[in-house]
Chain A
Amino acid sequence: MSAKTKFPVGVEAIAAKGWLSAHKWLIARRLSQTLFLAIFLVGPWFGWRIVDGTLAGSRTLNILPLTDPFVALQGIVAGHWPELTALIGALIVLAAYALIGGRMYCSWVCPINPVTDTAHWLHEKLDIPKGWQPKRHTRLWLLAMVLIVSALTGTIAWEVVNPITILHRGLVFGMGAAWGVVIAVFLFDLVVARRGWCGHLCPVGAFYGLVRAKPLLRVSAPNRAACDDCMDCFAVCPENHVITPALRGKGNDTPLILARDCTNCGRCIDVCSVDVFTFTHRFNDRLSVSNSDAANKAA
């Protein structure tokens, strides 16, 4: 990471493209996260009942039911077959994320993401060692563990500790000691394990990672020939192992980032000073012109 030692992450992108376009997807994401919170909050705050309920289950404009499919699944293994309303809600959510890529939930909706992003930002600022780094697939083990505990105890087990719904429900219905849970996640990511929660442990993220039949929306690296090895994308990406196959692909290897862990956050697009990455659909695996020339020459 020689270049990284030269410049802090993102400085070249800001110099090349200006601050705004070096942050546009980050800003879009923060707006989206705020929006998803706000539509729930304007009900209790101003009496505009657009969306009632919480992220676990909601009702939009008094008609559209949405249910968190992971919560519904825990209920089912715990022994309760939910009524049609909740089932339809869960299927709608599943279908939507199967289309766009499940982990878009993480970077565009989940209220814990700003918390762990902030922890990571501070982590970099303070230059704290990365600490405990369990394997990425630990979260799949935890996901299985949650389902087993739900089945054995006959309860929706993860909801007892789930920081996502505890925070979201807290904001909408009353915090209680919910701040404690949020601070715990923040401190865990800051001092115990870099990107520990969202990157390695959260079973909700793991679940949404599995919800991806053929996600249409993908990040691609069509312009990978222009990559100057600054490594900034690897530094900002919360799941940076997903970048390598696309960016370092040879010849006609697809430039699409197809790994299920990619959260479609778009930070790699923002932070790249030479615009290697772009959002596209999954059928567009074209390389940009200069790139295919290089590929042809190599062939």
Chain B
Amino acid sequence: MPSPSPMSPARRRFLTDTARMAGGCAVAGLGLAYLTTDARALPAEALRPPGALPESEFLAACIRCGLCVRDCPYDTLKLAELGFDGPATGTPFFTAREIACEMCEDIPCVAACPTGALDKSLTNIDDAKMGTTVLVDQENCLNFLGLRCDVCYRVCPVIDEAITLEVRHNDRSGHHAIFAPTLFADRCTGCGICEKSCVLPEAAIKVLPIRLARATSAEHYRKGWEERAEKGGPVLEGIIDLPDRLPGPGTDNLVAPGGYEPAFKFPGASQ
């Protein structure tokens, strides 16, 4: 057996070369990784096309081919231009206030996508979740001021489901009504037509990405009234419902004028 000899020059050169390459690539790789994570910060006003996978999966799926953009008949979608648009360069997005999504029934953008970055399991455009609309500024919304603008409500493709007008008393004038635009995130597709149509110079109603627009309920919260309805009785056996002694009308205090009968009665409750 030859005794372990000092490294041959060739072997030494090979090892230094390899180490140098690996080091250089590690540095370059860190830079690249930084750029990709930077590109993940999707600005709030940029909405992804219908059926887009969640952003983290989208960036693994979208090859930035632009076929969705080409097939959108309303020129809603654009590919992000390097340095000018916020989303990761070359990925498709739209800005509701510029051109909203017209919610095509055949969803051509999804049909065009070769990779599945726009998920083909979206077959009914009413199920799209491009974002969720939020009435961001009640103080400037004309309906909240007591006027009958109603534009966002009228233009909504899912009228009376995604937006309703809730009638309430106008305390300011004392004898008028306020038709408050009220939003239901479950039904809103995030098409942006309401935001696009808001008559104010800066829209009072805006479509935001769901991560910004919506809270999440804590996992351990249970809605007693839902569970009660499901079970048809109190959730806990033998619970005694004490009468609520709330003042004034509009409560279940039957003694007060305007008091009402509760919808659900506990068996054995005295009232």
The residues of A with any CB-CB pair to B shorter than 8 Å are 43, 49, 52-54, 56-59, 65, 67-68, 71-72, 75, 78-80, 82-83, 85-86, 89, 135, 138, 141-142, 144-146, 148-150, 152-161, 165-166, 169-170, 172-178, 180-181
Cβ of B213 to closest chain A Cβ, rounded Å: 24
Q: B35 at the A/B interface (Cβ < 8 Å)?
A: yes
Q: Are A82 and B81 in contact (CB under 8 A)?
A: no
Contact with A along B15-56 (1 / 0, CB 8 A): 001000110111011001101110110000000000001001
Question: Given A68, A154, A177, which contacts B84 in the complex, CB threshold below 8 Å?
Answer: A177
How far apart are the CA atoms of A170 and B120 in the complex, in Å?
A: 27
Cβ of A21 to closest chain B Cβ, rounded Å: 39
Name the B residues within 8 Å of A138 (CB-CB).
21, 24
The residues of B with any CB-CB pair to A shorter than 8 Å are 17, 21-22, 24-26, 28-29, 32-33, 35-37, 39-40, 53, 56-57, 59-67, 69-71, 78-85, 88-90, 112-117, 120
Q: Are B66 and A169 in contact (CB under 8 A)?
A: yes
Q: Are B67 and A53 in contact (CB under 8 A)?
A: yes
Given known A-B contacts A145-B29, A170-B81, A153 and B37 have beta carbons under 8 A apart: yes
Closest to B117 in A: A80
User: Can you name 30 A-B residue pairings with CB atoms under 8 Å?
Assistant: A65-B114, A67-B114, A75-B115, A78-B59, A79-B57, A80-B60, A80-B61, A80-B115, A83-B115, A85-B115, A86-B63, A86-B114, A86-B115, A142-B28, A145-B29, A148-B29, A149-B36, A155-B39, A156-B63, A157-B33, A160-B36, A160-B88, A172-B66, A173-B69, A175-B81, A175-B82, A176-B80, A176-B85, A176-B89, A177-B84
Closest to B90 in A: A169
Q: Are A157 and B36 in contact (CB under 8 A)?
A: yes
Question: Given A57, A59, A153, A176, which contacts B63 in the complex, CB threshold below 8 Å?
Answer: A57
Name the A residues within 8 Å of B82 (CB-CB).
166, 170, 175-178, 180-181
Cβ of A251 to closest chain B Cβ, rounded Å: 29
Q: Are B25 and A56 in contact (CB under 8 A)?
A: no
Name the A residues within 8 Å of B112 (CB-CB).
59
Q: Are A75 and B64 in contact (CB under 8 A)?
A: no
| A interface majority secondary structure | helix
Question: What is the number of contacts between chain A and chain B, taking CB atoms within 8 Å?
Answer: 166
Not counting A82-B61, A172-B66, a sample of 4 additional A-B residue pairs whose C-beta atoms are within 8 angstroms of each other reads: A86-B114, A153-B36, A166-B89, A175-B82
Cβ of A44 to closest chain B Cβ, rounded Å: 8
Given known A-B contacts A142-B25, A169-B90, A52 and B67 have beta carbons under 8 A apart: yes
Q: Are A67 and B81 in contact (CB under 8 A)?
A: no
Q: Are A75 and B84 in contact (CB under 8 A)?
A: no
Name the A residues within 8 Å of B29 (CB-CB).
145, 148-149
Question: Given A57, A78, A177, which contacts B81 in the complex, CB threshold below 8 Å?
Answer: A177
Question: Given B59, B80, B114, which contacts A57 in the complex, CB threshold below 8 Å?
Answer: B114
Closest to A172 in B: B66
Q: Are B17 and A174 in contact (CB under 8 A)?
A: no
How far apart are the CA atoms of A146 and B31 in the complex, in Å?
A: 11
Q: Are A165 and B90 in contact (CB under 8 A)?
A: yes
Question: Given B24, B35, B53, B115, which contacts A160 in the complex, CB threshold below 8 Å?
Answer: B35
Q: Are B114 and A176 in contact (CB under 8 A)?
A: no
Closest to A68 in B: B63
Most interface-central of B28, B37, B63, B64 (chain A CB within 10 A): B63
How far apart are the CA atoms of A65 and B81 in the complex, in Å?
A: 24
Cβ of B32 to closest chain A Cβ, rounded Å: 5
How far apart are the CA atoms of A68 and B84 in the complex, in Å?
A: 25
How far apart are the CA atoms of A177 and B61 in the complex, in Å?
A: 24
Given known A-B contacts A43-B70, A75-B60, A135-B17, A145 and B32 have beta carbons under 8 A apart: yes
How far apart are the CA atoms of A154 and B55 in the complex, in Å?
A: 11
Cβ of B155 to closest chain A Cβ, rounded Å: 29
How far apart are the CA atoms of A83 and B88 in the complex, in Å?
A: 22
Closest to B91 in A: A159
Cβ of A47 to closest chain B Cβ, rounded Å: 11
Closest to A152 in B: B33
How far apart are the CA atoms of A86 and B120 in the complex, in Å?
A: 13
Q: Are B25 and A57 in contact (CB under 8 A)?
A: no
Name the B residues within 8 Å of A153 (CB-CB).
33, 36-37
Q: Are B36 and A173 in contact (CB under 8 A)?
A: no
Cβ of A41 to closest chain B Cβ, rounded Å: 13
How far apart are the CA atoms of A65 and B67 in the complex, in Å?
A: 11
Q: Are A176 and B81 in contact (CB under 8 A)?
A: yes
Name the B residues within 8 Å of A152 (CB-CB).
33
Most interface-central of B53, B70, B78, B112 (chain A CB within 10 A): B70
Q: Are B28 and A155 in contact (CB under 8 A)?
A: no
How far apart are the CA atoms of A56 and B89 in the complex, in Å?
A: 13
Q: Are A173 and B79 in contact (CB under 8 A)?
A: yes
Q: Are B60 and A78 in contact (CB under 8 A)?
A: yes
Cβ of A172 to closest chain B Cβ, rounded Å: 7
